[in-house]
Structure 1
Amino acid sequence: MPLQLTPTFRDDLAEANRPLIGMWVCSGSPLVAEICAGSGLDWLLVDAEHGPNGLESILAQLQAIAGYPITPLVRAPYADIVVIKQYLDLGVQNLLIPMVNTGDEARAVVSAVRYPPRGVRGVGSALARGARWNRVDNYLARADEYVSLFVQIETADAVANVAEIASVDGVDGAFVGPSDLAASMGLLGQQEHPDVVASVEHAIRTISELGKPVGVNAFDPKVAERYLAAGADFVLVGADVSLLARGSEALAAKYVPTGDAAQETRASY
Protein backbone atom coordinates (compact mmCIF):
# COMPACT_ATOMS: atom_id res chain seq x y z
CA MET A 1 0.00 0.00 0.00
CA PRO A 2 1.43 3.43 -0.93
CA LEU A 3 2.73 5.55 1.93
CA GLN A 4 1.29 8.95 2.83
CA LEU A 5 3.42 11.90 3.86
CA THR A 6 2.37 14.24 6.65
CA PRO A 7 0.64 17.55 5.89
CA THR A 8 2.94 20.50 5.31
CA PHE A 9 3.30 23.61 7.44
CA ARG A 10 1.40 25.42 4.67
CA ASP A 11 -1.51 23.05 5.34
CA ASP A 12 -1.25 23.56 9.11
CA LEU A 13 -1.44 27.32 8.71
CA ALA A 14 -4.38 27.12 6.31
CA GLU A 15 -6.35 25.01 8.79
CA ALA A 16 -5.37 26.87 11.97
CA ASN A 17 -7.86 29.07 13.81
CA ARG A 18 -5.11 30.76 15.85
CA PRO A 19 -1.44 31.70 15.45
CA LEU A 20 0.94 28.74 15.58
CA ILE A 21 3.63 28.88 18.26
CA GLY A 22 7.05 27.29 17.87
CA MET A 23 10.66 27.24 19.03
CA TRP A 24 14.12 26.91 17.55
CA VAL A 25 16.12 23.69 17.75
CA CYS A 26 19.70 24.87 17.28
CA SER A 27 21.70 22.30 19.25
CA GLY A 28 22.07 19.73 16.48
CA SER A 29 20.98 17.04 18.93
CA PRO A 30 18.29 14.50 17.97
CA LEU A 31 17.66 13.89 21.68
CA VAL A 32 17.03 17.56 22.35
CA ALA A 33 14.87 17.75 19.22
CA GLU A 34 12.77 14.87 20.51
CA ILE A 35 12.39 16.50 23.93
CA CYS A 36 11.19 19.69 22.23
CA ALA A 37 8.91 17.72 19.91
CA GLY A 38 6.95 16.44 22.90
CA SER A 39 6.47 19.91 24.36
CA GLY A 40 2.96 20.55 23.04
CA LEU A 41 4.09 23.40 20.79
CA ASP A 42 2.84 23.62 17.21
CA TRP A 43 6.11 23.64 15.29
CA LEU A 44 9.88 23.45 15.52
CA LEU A 45 12.54 25.17 13.45
CA VAL A 46 15.64 23.03 12.98
CA ASP A 47 18.34 25.56 12.19
CA ALA A 48 21.25 24.87 9.86
CA GLU A 49 22.15 28.52 9.30
CA HIS A 50 23.49 29.25 12.77
CA GLY A 51 23.29 25.79 14.32
CA PRO A 52 25.84 22.94 13.96
CA ASN A 53 23.72 20.93 11.57
CA GLY A 54 24.76 18.83 8.60
CA LEU A 55 22.76 16.39 6.51
CA GLU A 56 23.16 13.51 8.94
CA SER A 57 22.08 15.47 12.02
CA ILE A 58 19.10 16.98 10.21
CA LEU A 59 18.01 13.51 9.12
CA ALA A 60 18.33 12.17 12.67
CA GLN A 61 16.31 15.08 14.05
CA LEU A 62 13.55 14.61 11.48
CA GLN A 63 13.36 10.96 12.45
CA ALA A 64 13.23 11.85 16.17
CA ILE A 65 10.53 14.48 15.65
CA ALA A 66 8.40 12.26 13.40
CA GLY A 67 6.86 10.37 16.30
CA TYR A 68 5.20 13.49 17.74
CA PRO A 69 2.26 15.68 16.68
CA ILE A 70 4.39 18.70 15.77
CA THR A 71 5.56 20.10 12.44
CA PRO A 72 9.27 20.62 11.72
CA LEU A 73 10.64 23.33 9.46
CA VAL A 74 14.29 23.27 8.48
CA ARG A 75 16.24 26.45 7.81
CA ALA A 76 18.93 26.06 5.18
CA PRO A 77 22.23 27.94 5.61
CA TYR A 78 21.63 29.83 2.37
CA ALA A 79 19.69 29.73 -0.89
CA ASP A 80 21.72 27.09 -2.73
CA ILE A 81 20.05 24.75 -5.22
CA VAL A 82 22.27 21.81 -4.26
CA VAL A 83 21.60 22.23 -0.53
CA ILE A 84 17.86 22.57 -1.21
CA LYS A 85 17.87 19.41 -3.33
CA GLN A 86 19.67 17.48 -0.60
CA TYR A 87 17.27 18.70 2.10
CA LEU A 88 14.22 17.74 0.06
CA ASP A 89 15.66 14.33 -0.67
CA LEU A 90 16.33 13.87 3.06
CA GLY A 91 12.62 14.30 3.67
CA VAL A 92 12.45 17.98 4.61
CA GLN A 93 8.89 18.94 3.73
CA ASN A 94 8.95 22.47 5.12
CA LEU A 95 11.84 24.66 4.11
CA LEU A 96 12.87 28.12 5.32
CA ILE A 97 15.40 30.04 3.25
CA PRO A 98 17.24 32.98 4.85
CA MET A 99 18.21 36.33 3.35
CA VAL A 100 15.80 36.47 0.41
CA ASN A 101 15.99 40.10 -0.65
CA THR A 102 14.33 40.38 -4.06
CA GLY A 103 11.60 38.87 -6.16
CA ASP A 104 14.20 37.31 -8.45
CA GLU A 105 15.85 35.59 -5.49
CA ALA A 106 12.46 34.28 -4.36
CA ARG A 107 11.73 32.95 -7.84
CA ALA A 108 15.11 31.19 -7.91
CA VAL A 109 14.33 29.46 -4.62
CA VAL A 110 10.92 28.36 -5.92
CA SER A 111 12.64 26.92 -8.99
CA ALA A 112 15.00 24.97 -6.74
CA VAL A 113 12.14 23.14 -5.00
CA ARG A 114 10.25 22.25 -8.19
CA TYR A 115 11.00 19.53 -10.69
CA PRO A 116 11.51 20.34 -14.38
CA PRO A 117 10.02 21.76 -16.51
CA ARG A 118 8.76 24.18 -13.82
CA GLY A 119 12.02 24.18 -11.87
CA VAL A 120 15.51 22.74 -11.55
CA ARG A 121 15.25 20.23 -8.69
CA GLY A 122 17.30 17.14 -9.46
CA VAL A 123 15.36 13.90 -9.83
CA GLY A 124 16.41 11.20 -7.39
CA SER A 125 13.18 10.05 -5.76
CA ALA A 126 14.01 6.35 -6.04
CA LEU A 127 17.11 6.96 -3.92
CA ALA A 128 15.66 9.38 -1.40
CA ARG A 129 13.79 9.40 1.89
CA GLY A 130 11.78 12.39 0.65
CA ALA A 131 9.77 10.06 -1.58
CA ARG A 132 10.25 7.16 0.84
CA TRP A 133 12.26 5.49 -1.90
CA ASN A 134 9.35 5.75 -4.34
CA ARG A 135 6.90 4.28 -1.85
CA VAL A 136 4.87 7.52 -1.99
CA ASP A 137 2.44 7.07 -4.86
CA ASN A 138 3.09 9.37 -7.82
CA TYR A 139 5.57 11.47 -5.83
CA LEU A 140 7.18 13.16 -8.82
CA ALA A 141 3.89 14.51 -10.13
CA ARG A 142 2.65 15.49 -6.67
CA ALA A 143 5.86 16.79 -5.12
CA ASP A 144 4.54 20.36 -4.83
CA GLU A 145 1.80 19.06 -2.50
CA TYR A 146 4.39 17.60 -0.16
CA VAL A 147 6.70 20.62 0.14
CA SER A 148 6.07 24.07 1.60
CA LEU A 149 8.48 26.94 1.08
CA PHE A 150 8.98 29.94 3.34
CA VAL A 151 11.43 32.79 2.84
CA GLN A 152 12.99 35.18 5.32
CA ILE A 153 12.53 38.94 5.22
CA GLU A 154 15.48 40.17 7.27
CA THR A 155 17.12 43.13 5.57
CA ALA A 156 16.08 46.66 4.71
CA ASP A 157 16.20 45.70 1.02
CA ALA A 158 13.87 42.76 1.65
CA VAL A 159 11.41 45.01 3.47
CA ALA A 160 11.50 47.42 0.52
CA ASN A 161 10.78 44.50 -1.83
CA VAL A 162 8.44 42.59 0.47
CA ALA A 163 5.34 42.88 -1.72
CA GLU A 164 7.14 41.46 -4.75
CA ILE A 165 8.76 38.67 -2.72
CA ALA A 166 5.51 37.61 -1.06
CA SER A 167 3.66 37.71 -4.38
CA VAL A 168 5.90 35.11 -6.02
CA ASP A 169 3.95 31.98 -6.95
CA GLY A 170 5.35 29.08 -4.95
CA VAL A 171 6.35 31.15 -1.91
CA ASP A 172 3.96 29.83 0.73
CA GLY A 173 4.77 32.41 3.38
CA ALA A 174 7.44 34.64 4.85
CA PHE A 175 9.24 34.90 8.16
CA VAL A 176 10.51 38.26 9.42
CA GLY A 177 13.83 38.31 11.29
CA PRO A 178 14.16 41.45 13.45
CA SER A 179 17.79 40.81 14.48
CA ASP A 180 19.33 40.83 11.01
CA LEU A 181 16.88 43.50 9.94
CA ALA A 182 18.10 45.77 12.71
CA ALA A 183 21.71 45.12 11.71
CA SER A 184 21.00 45.94 8.07
CA MET A 185 19.45 49.23 9.18
CA GLY A 186 22.61 50.20 11.10
CA LEU A 187 20.96 49.34 14.42
CA LEU A 188 22.83 46.18 15.42
CA GLY A 189 21.34 44.63 18.55
CA GLN A 190 18.45 47.12 18.64
CA GLN A 191 15.51 44.98 17.62
CA GLU A 192 13.22 47.19 19.72
CA HIS A 193 14.24 50.41 17.99
CA PRO A 194 11.08 52.15 16.72
CA ASP A 195 12.34 52.10 13.12
CA VAL A 196 12.93 48.34 13.29
CA VAL A 197 9.53 47.70 14.86
CA ALA A 198 7.88 49.84 12.18
CA SER A 199 9.65 47.86 9.43
CA VAL A 200 8.62 44.53 10.97
CA GLU A 201 5.01 45.66 11.27
CA HIS A 202 5.04 46.98 7.70
CA ALA A 203 6.27 43.60 6.46
CA ILE A 204 3.66 41.73 8.50
CA ARG A 205 0.90 43.96 7.21
CA THR A 206 2.01 43.79 3.57
CA ILE A 207 2.42 40.00 3.52
CA SER A 208 -0.94 39.49 5.24
CA GLU A 209 -2.70 41.78 2.77
CA LEU A 210 -1.32 39.61 -0.05
CA GLY A 211 -2.97 36.56 1.51
CA LYS A 212 0.24 34.83 2.59
CA PRO A 213 0.98 33.69 6.14
CA VAL A 214 3.69 35.64 7.93
CA GLY A 215 5.81 34.74 10.94
CA VAL A 216 8.30 36.48 13.18
CA ASN A 217 10.95 35.72 15.77
CA ALA A 218 10.08 37.10 19.23
CA PHE A 219 11.61 35.64 22.39
CA ASP A 220 10.38 38.42 24.67
CA PRO A 221 6.72 37.73 25.59
CA LYS A 222 5.80 41.41 25.22
CA VAL A 223 7.34 41.49 21.74
CA ALA A 224 5.57 38.28 20.78
CA GLU A 225 2.24 39.73 21.91
CA ARG A 226 2.90 42.92 19.94
CA TYR A 227 3.56 41.08 16.71
CA LEU A 228 0.69 38.67 17.25
CA ALA A 229 -1.55 41.70 17.63
CA ALA A 230 -0.03 43.09 14.41
CA GLY A 231 -1.19 39.98 12.55
CA ALA A 232 1.61 37.40 12.75
CA ASP A 233 0.37 33.91 11.90
CA PHE A 234 3.29 31.97 13.38
CA VAL A 235 5.86 32.98 15.98
CA LEU A 236 9.05 31.52 17.44
CA VAL A 237 9.12 32.22 21.16
CA GLY A 238 12.25 30.43 22.35
CA ALA A 239 15.21 28.21 21.52
CA ASP A 240 16.63 25.02 22.98
CA VAL A 241 20.10 26.49 23.50
CA SER A 242 18.79 29.73 25.02
CA LEU A 243 16.53 27.89 27.44
CA LEU A 244 19.43 25.71 28.54
CA ALA A 245 21.81 28.67 28.84
CA ARG A 246 19.43 30.81 30.88
CA GLY A 247 18.23 27.86 32.96
CA SER A 248 21.74 26.76 33.88
CA GLU A 249 22.68 30.36 34.71
CA ALA A 250 19.67 30.58 37.01
CA LEU A 251 20.80 27.45 38.82
CA ALA A 252 24.28 28.89 39.27
CA ALA A 253 22.88 32.18 40.52
CA LYS A 254 20.73 30.35 43.05
CA TYR A 255 23.23 27.81 44.38
CA VAL A 256 26.79 28.98 43.62
CA PRO A 257 28.00 31.73 45.97
CA THR A 258 30.04 34.62 44.57
CA GLY A 259 32.03 37.50 46.02
CA ASP A 260 31.88 37.87 49.79
CA ALA A 261 29.42 35.01 50.07
CA ALA A 262 31.91 32.70 48.32
CA GLN A 263 34.65 33.75 50.74
CA GLU A 264 32.38 33.06 53.71
CA THR A 265 31.38 29.67 52.30
CA ARG A 266 35.02 28.64 51.80
CA ALA A 267 35.90 29.80 55.30
CA SER A 268 33.19 27.61 56.75
CA TYR A 269 34.78 24.40 55.41
Structure 2
Amino acid sequence: MFVDSHCHLNFPELREQLPAIRQAMAEAHVDRALCICTTLEEFGEVHALALAHDNFWATVGVHPDTEGLREPAAADLVQRARLPRVVAVGETGLDYYGMEERKGGRSIADLGWQRERFRTHIRAAREVGKPLVIHTRSAAADTLAILREEGEDGAGNRAGGVFHCFTESADVARAALDLGYYISFSGILTFRNAQDLRDIAAFVPLDRLLIETDSPYLAPVPYRGKVNSPAYVPYVAQQLAQVRQLPVEDIAAATSRNFEQLFLRQEEAA
Protein backbone atom coordinates (compact mmCIF):
# COMPACT_ATOMS: atom_id res chain seq x y z
CA MET A 1 0.00 0.00 0.00
CA PHE A 2 2.71 2.51 1.02
CA VAL A 3 6.21 2.99 -0.41
CA ASP A 4 9.15 4.59 1.40
CA SER A 5 11.04 6.24 -1.44
CA HIS A 6 14.14 7.17 0.58
CA CYS A 7 15.70 5.38 3.56
CA HIS A 8 19.14 4.38 4.86
CA LEU A 9 18.68 0.85 6.18
CA ASN A 10 22.41 0.14 6.14
CA PHE A 11 23.11 2.87 8.72
CA PRO A 12 24.12 1.57 12.17
CA GLU A 13 20.88 2.68 13.87
CA LEU A 14 18.87 0.35 11.60
CA ARG A 15 21.19 -2.31 10.20
CA GLU A 16 21.08 -4.66 13.19
CA GLN A 17 17.30 -4.34 13.50
CA LEU A 18 16.39 -5.27 9.95
CA PRO A 19 14.16 -8.30 10.73
CA ALA A 20 12.15 -6.22 13.21
CA ILE A 21 11.99 -3.31 10.77
CA ARG A 22 10.69 -5.54 8.00
CA GLN A 23 8.06 -6.97 10.34
CA ALA A 24 6.98 -3.47 11.36
CA MET A 25 6.80 -2.45 7.70
CA ALA A 26 4.52 -5.38 6.93
CA GLU A 27 2.26 -4.54 9.85
CA ALA A 28 2.08 -0.90 8.69
CA HIS A 29 1.34 -1.94 5.07
CA VAL A 30 4.61 -0.46 3.82
CA ASP A 31 5.37 -2.95 1.09
CA ARG A 32 8.40 -1.40 -0.67
CA ALA A 33 11.42 0.79 0.06
CA LEU A 34 14.29 2.40 -1.83
CA CYS A 35 17.63 2.05 -0.02
CA ILE A 36 19.81 5.09 -0.64
CA CYS A 37 23.57 5.07 -1.13
CA THR A 38 25.65 8.01 0.16
CA THR A 39 29.25 6.83 -0.50
CA LEU A 40 30.94 4.43 -2.88
CA GLU A 41 32.35 2.65 0.16
CA GLU A 42 28.86 1.72 1.38
CA PHE A 43 27.42 0.78 -2.00
CA GLY A 44 28.04 -2.94 -1.48
CA GLU A 45 25.96 -2.94 1.71
CA VAL A 46 23.13 -0.98 0.13
CA HIS A 47 23.09 -3.14 -2.98
CA ALA A 48 23.11 -6.31 -0.87
CA LEU A 49 19.87 -5.20 0.81
CA ALA A 50 18.18 -4.89 -2.57
CA LEU A 51 19.51 -8.23 -3.78
CA ALA A 52 18.41 -10.00 -0.61
CA HIS A 53 14.84 -8.66 -0.45
CA ASP A 54 12.44 -8.49 -3.36
CA ASN A 55 10.69 -5.38 -2.02
CA PHE A 56 13.89 -3.30 -1.67
CA TRP A 57 15.77 -1.44 -4.40
CA ALA A 58 19.04 0.50 -4.31
CA THR A 59 20.69 3.65 -5.63
CA VAL A 60 24.33 4.57 -6.20
CA GLY A 61 25.75 7.97 -5.34
CA VAL A 62 27.94 10.12 -3.12
CA HIS A 63 26.19 12.60 -0.84
CA PRO A 64 27.19 16.25 -1.42
CA ASP A 65 28.34 16.62 2.19
CA THR A 66 30.75 13.66 2.05
CA GLU A 67 34.45 14.52 2.19
CA GLY A 68 37.59 12.46 2.66
CA LEU A 69 36.25 9.34 0.95
CA ARG A 70 36.44 8.08 -2.60
CA GLU A 71 35.45 10.70 -5.17
CA PRO A 72 33.18 9.21 -7.85
CA ALA A 73 34.04 9.29 -11.51
CA ALA A 74 31.16 9.00 -13.95
CA ALA A 75 32.38 5.50 -14.85
CA ASP A 76 32.12 4.41 -11.19
CA LEU A 77 28.50 5.49 -11.05
CA VAL A 78 27.57 4.12 -14.47
CA GLN A 79 29.02 0.68 -13.77
CA ARG A 80 27.11 0.34 -10.49
CA ALA A 81 23.92 1.90 -11.81
CA ARG A 82 23.71 -0.87 -14.42
CA LEU A 83 23.69 -3.63 -11.80
CA PRO A 84 20.44 -5.48 -11.01
CA ARG A 85 18.00 -3.67 -8.72
CA VAL A 86 19.88 -0.36 -8.85
CA VAL A 87 17.20 2.06 -10.04
CA ALA A 88 18.62 5.57 -9.54
CA VAL A 89 21.73 7.73 -9.19
CA GLY A 90 22.13 9.59 -5.90
CA GLU A 91 21.72 10.86 -3.44
CA THR A 92 23.47 13.80 -5.01
CA GLY A 93 23.11 17.56 -5.17
CA LEU A 94 24.40 20.51 -3.19
CA ASP A 95 24.53 21.35 0.52
CA TYR A 96 25.61 24.84 1.59
CA TYR A 97 23.99 24.68 5.04
CA GLY A 98 26.01 25.94 8.01
CA MET A 99 29.02 27.26 6.12
CA GLU A 100 30.69 28.57 9.28
CA GLU A 101 29.96 25.71 11.67
CA ARG A 102 29.94 22.69 9.39
CA LYS A 103 32.38 23.64 6.66
CA GLY A 104 35.14 25.37 8.57
CA GLY A 105 34.25 28.89 7.52
CA ARG A 106 34.70 28.17 3.82
CA SER A 107 32.74 30.20 1.30
CA ILE A 108 30.34 28.93 -1.32
CA ALA A 109 33.05 29.64 -3.87
CA ASP A 110 35.22 27.10 -2.03
CA LEU A 111 32.66 24.34 -2.67
CA GLY A 112 33.34 23.97 -6.36
CA TRP A 113 34.05 20.30 -5.74
CA GLN A 114 30.40 19.84 -4.71
CA ARG A 115 29.18 21.40 -7.91
CA GLU A 116 31.52 19.28 -10.04
CA ARG A 117 30.47 16.12 -8.20
CA PHE A 118 26.82 16.99 -8.86
CA ARG A 119 27.55 17.40 -12.57
CA THR A 120 29.26 14.01 -12.58
CA HIS A 121 26.14 12.38 -11.16
CA ILE A 122 23.86 14.12 -13.65
CA ARG A 123 26.00 12.96 -16.58
CA ALA A 124 26.10 9.40 -15.26
CA ALA A 125 22.33 9.33 -14.78
CA ARG A 126 21.77 10.56 -18.31
CA GLU A 127 24.16 7.94 -19.68
CA VAL A 128 22.32 5.06 -18.01
CA GLY A 129 18.85 6.58 -18.40
CA LYS A 130 18.02 6.40 -14.70
CA PRO A 131 16.63 9.14 -12.44
CA LEU A 132 18.48 11.34 -9.97
CA VAL A 133 17.80 11.47 -6.24
CA ILE A 134 18.56 15.09 -5.38
CA HIS A 135 19.52 16.55 -2.01
CA THR A 136 19.54 20.34 -1.90
CA ARG A 137 19.98 22.39 1.27
CA SER A 138 20.55 26.14 1.31
CA ALA A 139 21.64 25.76 -2.32
CA ALA A 140 18.47 25.73 -4.41
CA ALA A 141 19.51 28.39 -6.93
CA ASP A 142 22.74 26.59 -7.82
CA THR A 143 21.02 23.20 -7.82
CA LEU A 144 18.45 24.35 -10.35
CA ALA A 145 21.03 26.24 -12.43
CA ILE A 146 23.32 23.22 -12.73
CA LEU A 147 20.43 20.94 -13.69
CA ARG A 148 19.50 23.34 -16.48
CA GLU A 149 23.10 23.75 -17.62
CA GLU A 150 23.45 19.97 -17.83
CA GLY A 151 20.35 19.69 -20.01
CA GLU A 152 17.82 18.75 -17.33
CA ASP A 153 15.26 21.23 -18.62
CA GLY A 154 12.21 19.00 -18.73
CA ALA A 155 12.55 18.18 -22.43
CA GLY A 156 14.49 15.80 -24.58
CA ASN A 157 16.78 13.01 -23.38
CA ARG A 158 16.93 13.80 -19.67
CA ALA A 159 17.44 11.78 -16.52
CA GLY A 160 14.64 13.30 -14.44
CA GLY A 161 14.32 12.40 -10.80
CA VAL A 162 13.13 13.62 -7.43
CA PHE A 163 13.91 16.43 -5.02
CA HIS A 164 13.97 14.35 -1.86
CA CYS A 165 13.02 15.51 1.67
CA PHE A 166 11.77 18.77 0.21
CA THR A 167 12.13 21.80 2.51
CA GLU A 168 12.61 24.63 0.02
CA SER A 169 10.27 27.46 -1.01
CA ALA A 170 7.17 27.36 -3.17
CA ASP A 171 9.15 29.00 -5.98
CA VAL A 172 11.75 26.24 -5.87
CA ALA A 173 8.98 23.62 -5.90
CA ARG A 174 7.46 25.20 -9.00
CA ALA A 175 10.87 25.36 -10.70
CA ALA A 176 11.53 21.68 -9.94
CA LEU A 177 8.11 20.75 -11.31
CA ASP A 178 8.77 22.81 -14.43
CA LEU A 179 11.92 20.74 -15.00
CA GLY A 180 9.80 17.61 -14.84
CA TYR A 181 10.97 16.46 -11.41
CA TYR A 182 9.01 14.82 -8.63
CA ILE A 183 8.90 16.19 -5.08
CA SER A 184 9.13 13.96 -2.02
CA PHE A 185 7.97 14.88 1.46
CA SER A 186 9.34 13.42 4.69
CA GLY A 187 8.28 13.43 8.33
CA ILE A 188 9.10 17.15 8.46
CA LEU A 189 5.66 17.64 6.90
CA THR A 190 4.13 16.62 10.24
CA PHE A 191 6.11 19.06 12.37
CA ARG A 192 4.14 21.84 14.05
CA ASN A 193 6.31 24.60 12.53
CA ALA A 194 6.06 23.25 8.95
CA GLN A 195 2.91 25.05 7.76
CA ASP A 196 4.75 26.61 4.81
CA LEU A 197 5.77 23.13 3.70
CA ARG A 198 2.21 21.86 4.06
CA ASP A 199 1.06 24.73 1.86
CA ILE A 200 3.52 23.56 -0.81
CA ALA A 201 2.36 19.95 -0.45
CA ALA A 202 -1.17 21.17 -1.18
CA PHE A 203 -0.34 22.39 -4.68
CA VAL A 204 2.17 19.81 -5.97
CA PRO A 205 0.30 17.76 -8.59
CA LEU A 206 -0.81 14.39 -7.30
CA ASP A 207 1.11 12.63 -10.07
CA ARG A 208 4.40 14.24 -8.94
CA LEU A 209 4.27 13.40 -5.22
CA LEU A 210 6.40 10.90 -3.34
CA ILE A 211 6.64 10.11 0.37
CA GLU A 212 9.69 9.04 2.35
CA THR A 213 11.16 8.70 5.82
CA ASP A 214 14.87 9.49 5.25
CA SER A 215 15.23 7.07 8.16
CA PRO A 216 16.92 6.83 10.57
CA TYR A 217 16.41 10.62 10.61
CA LEU A 218 13.40 12.96 10.80
CA ALA A 219 10.85 10.70 12.44
CA PRO A 220 7.33 12.08 11.99
CA VAL A 221 5.00 13.11 14.77
CA PRO A 222 4.22 11.23 17.05
CA TYR A 223 7.74 9.72 16.95
CA ARG A 224 9.65 12.97 16.48
CA GLY A 225 13.07 12.81 18.12
CA LYS A 226 13.25 9.02 17.96
CA VAL A 227 14.95 6.74 15.45
CA ASN A 228 12.91 6.76 12.26
CA SER A 229 11.86 3.68 10.30
CA PRO A 230 10.15 2.94 6.96
CA ALA A 231 7.21 1.69 9.02
CA TYR A 232 6.48 5.33 9.86
CA VAL A 233 5.95 6.54 6.29
CA PRO A 234 2.14 6.20 6.64
CA TYR A 235 2.24 9.18 9.01
CA VAL A 236 3.61 11.28 6.15
CA ALA A 237 0.85 9.97 3.89
CA GLN A 238 -1.78 10.78 6.52
CA GLN A 239 -0.53 14.36 6.78
CA LEU A 240 -0.61 14.69 3.00
CA ALA A 241 -4.14 13.31 2.94
CA GLN A 242 -5.22 15.89 5.50
CA VAL A 243 -3.55 18.74 3.61
CA ARG A 244 -5.13 17.73 0.32
CA GLN A 245 -8.49 16.65 1.79
CA LEU A 246 -8.23 13.20 0.30
CA PRO A 247 -8.55 9.69 1.74
CA VAL A 248 -5.16 8.33 2.81
CA GLU A 249 -5.76 5.39 0.48
CA ASP A 250 -5.70 7.82 -2.46
CA ILE A 251 -2.35 9.22 -1.33
CA ALA A 252 -0.97 5.70 -0.91
CA ALA A 253 -2.13 4.69 -4.38
CA ALA A 254 -0.85 7.84 -6.08
CA THR A 255 2.58 7.84 -4.44
CA SER A 256 2.99 4.13 -5.15
CA ARG A 257 2.15 4.68 -8.83
CA ASN A 258 4.58 7.58 -8.95
CA PHE A 259 7.33 5.45 -7.40
CA GLU A 260 6.78 2.79 -10.04
CA GLN A 261 6.72 5.33 -12.86
CA LEU A 262 9.90 7.08 -11.75
CA PHE A 263 12.07 4.23 -10.49
CA LEU A 264 10.79 0.90 -11.77
CA ARG A 265 9.81 1.40 -15.40
CA GLN A 266 13.38 0.84 -16.61
CA GLU A 267 13.71 -2.31 -14.52
CA GLU A 268 10.42 -3.70 -15.80
CA ALA A 269 11.43 -2.99 -19.40
CA ALA A 270 14.77 -4.80 -19.00
For normalisation by structure 1, the TM-score amounts to 0.48
TM-score between both structures, scaled by the size of structure 2: 0.48
